Amino acid sequence: AQKITQTQPGMFVQEKEAVTLDCTYDTSDPSYGLFWYKQPSSGEMIFLIYQGSYDQQNATEGRYSLNFQKARKSANLVISASQLGDSAMYFCAMRGDSGYSTLTFGKGTMLLVSP
């Protein structure tokens, strides 16, 4: 069984500052994938960034980077230079072991960016 834990129900950050959203995971699979998705109030799940368990380097996508610490089983999302449009729910997710791209999600963190 796989488990994703996001311990921050809500986070506040000022515009242009950096913010870290925490995610820890648990799995017995030797190979797995970790994802971050953004969900605005409109409902769509927007893919942000992916980290494979065997990737040597931390993933980066524009203002998003993933701080992957395998030994600690953590995959924190770092958003640099926050923008007002970053206000949304953020989900950490793990690819399931079914062989499909099924996702197990954490409970999410609501990020609010203030001017």
Partner 1 sequence: DTEVTQTPKHLVMGMTNKKSLKCEQHMGHRAMYWYKQKAKKPPELMFVYSYEKLSINESVPSRFSPECPNSSLLNLHLHALQPEDSALYLCASSQKTGGTEAFFGQGTRLTVV
Residues forming the site for partner 1 (CB under 8 A): 33, 35, 37, 42-47, 50, 91, 95-96, 98-103, 105-108
Select from 82, 43, 45 the least CA-distant residue to 62.
82
Closest approach of Cβ 55 to partner 1, in Å? 12
Closest approach of Cβ 15 to partner 1, in Å? 25
CB atoms within 10 A of CB 108: 20
Closest approach of Cβ 111 to partner 1, in Å? 15
State how far the Cα of 80 lies from the Cα of 16, in Å rounded to an integer.
7
Output 14 or 102, the one with its CB closest to partner 1. Answer: 102
Which residues, including other chains, have CB under 8 Å from residue 46's CB and lie 6 or more apart? 37, 38, 39, 40
Output 19 or 93, the one with its CB closest to partner 1. Answer: 93
